[in-house]
Amino acid sequence: MEQTKTLRVIELFAGVGGFRLGLQKANHEIFDVVWGNQWEPSRKAQDAFDCYARNFDTGIHSKEDITKVSDDTFHDLRADLLVGGFPCQDYSVARTKSGEQGIQGKKGVLFWEIKRVIENTHPKYVLLENVDRLLKSPSSQRGRDFAVMLATFRDMNYSVEWRVINAAEYGMAQRRRRVFIFAYKNGISFEGEQKTFSPEEIVFNEGFFAKPFPVEEEPYKDRISSVELPSDIVEISDEFSYGFHNSGYMKDGKVFTAHLSPKLEEPIPLKDILIDEEAVPEKFYLTEANIEKFAYLRGPKRIERKTAEGHIYHFAEGGMSPVDELDKPGRTMLTSEGSINRSTHIVEVDGRKRFLTPVECERLNGFPDNWTSGMTDRMRYFCMGNALVVDLIERMGIRIEEIEKANEVNELQMEFPAFG
């Protein structure tokens, strides 16, 4: 059989290109990123975009406000797959005053740009990444934002799977937990195949995520439930609240969700991503003053504070190890990595305490060494704190390729039934 045909990919909110790199690692001959957009509105220097453009030499590299890109631009791209990591924002919607234009979401919310791209490209597949608190936001109406997203996909005629994945639980070097969302167009061969399974079979064994990220057979503490989304998305925005679990499936507004436990794989320990100590520049080692600051920041504390109204309360914080354990995978890396901050990784090697180097941070996310070289150390830390774990995307890319191959077999059988 001939090689699977190329999939045209659009990458939104590209950062330094984690999605694209993961797809290329899966199969660089199949995933063709024809258009990648990265634009940081609050910064004059566009370091992430410059890194992206420096590391990839094909396709269109867009450094512009996504809200100002025309519908025609997207229409002409003819995308098969849309990918992107987008910020967790307020996804509430309202009916327009006239009622004639349907509904409208808050301006500046980037998920609505994803919706606009989908409406103008009609990709077969959509793969998105976000922080796992998306499933529970906002705190005043738990689950509303995610329900609005699911209803949006429903109304665009897509089915959806989601899964919260901790990279370290599947053999990687960082305890980074993120929710991944895979939507696929109703009517394609994969959707027809999935319809033959029950929602439980999809989520536990047969779906998009279950193949590359296997799970235990029983849900955690029997946490499993179903719900049907209201047909009116404004009603969802105004009134709907629901406890979504860490995995689930939505088709035609019917939601099945379960709390899954991963079949654990041995993670990469922090010690295995460290560079040769002789190559670590002196600037990354802690001064005595910094050691004292970190001892306070990482230690237990109970602090009396006062509100603007004069109310006194106590802020309490538990202690954590003064240095990160080298025999365990790294903790979740934040954009504040490398600063004097409680969340910053501190390692002790040969009796000396130090920060992780930018190269070690790249390794925590599965990027090649010096992927972000050319920008300041501070920005290298920031970009890695924003990045995703590349090897997770590689597994998802392999899964998409498998789906495409099955699609082609099914299409051939439909065209030539005698050979089925």
Cα separation, 82 vs 11, whole angstroms: 6
Which ranges of 322-369 does DSSP label H, i.e. alpha helix?
A: 358-364
In sequence order, what DSSP letters do the residues of 70-119 get, joined into one string? -HHHHHHH--SEEEEE-------EEE-SSSTT-EEEPTT-THHHHHHHHH
Long-range contacts of 177-180 (CB under 8 A, 24+ apart): 177/132, 177/332, 178/129, 178/130, 178/131, 178/132, 178/388, 179/129, 179/130, 179/131, 179/132, 179/134, 179/135, 179/246, 180/127, 180/128, 180/129, 180/209, 180/392, 180/396
11 backbone dihedrals φ, ψ, rounded to 5°: -115, 115
Which ranges of 330-419 does DSSP label H, i.e. alpha helix?
A: 358-364, 377-386, 390-415
Identify the helix (H) or strand (E) that includes residue 121: helix 111-121
Cα separation, 398 vs 379, whole angstroms: 31
Identify the helix (H) or strand (E) that includes residue 353: strand 352-355
Q: Judge whether 179 and 167 are in contact, CB under 8 Å.
A: no
Is 361 among the residues known to form the active site? no
Tokens 């365990």 appear where?
328
Tell me, what DSSP letter sits at residue 355? E
Long-range contacts of 356-361 (CB under 8 A, 24+ apart): 356/284, 356/330, 357/275, 357/280, 357/281, 357/284, 358/384, 359/275, 360/273, 360/274, 360/275, 361/333, 361/337, 361/385
Catalytic residue among 51, 88, 361, 383: 88
Give the C-alpha distances (Å, rounded to integers) separating 373 from 175, 334, 343, 389.
24, 19, 23, 18
Identify the helix (H) or strand (E) that includes residue 47: helix 47-55
**Amino acid at residue number 90:** D
Distance linking the first and last C-alpha atoms of the chain: 14
Q: Which residues are catalytic?
A: 88
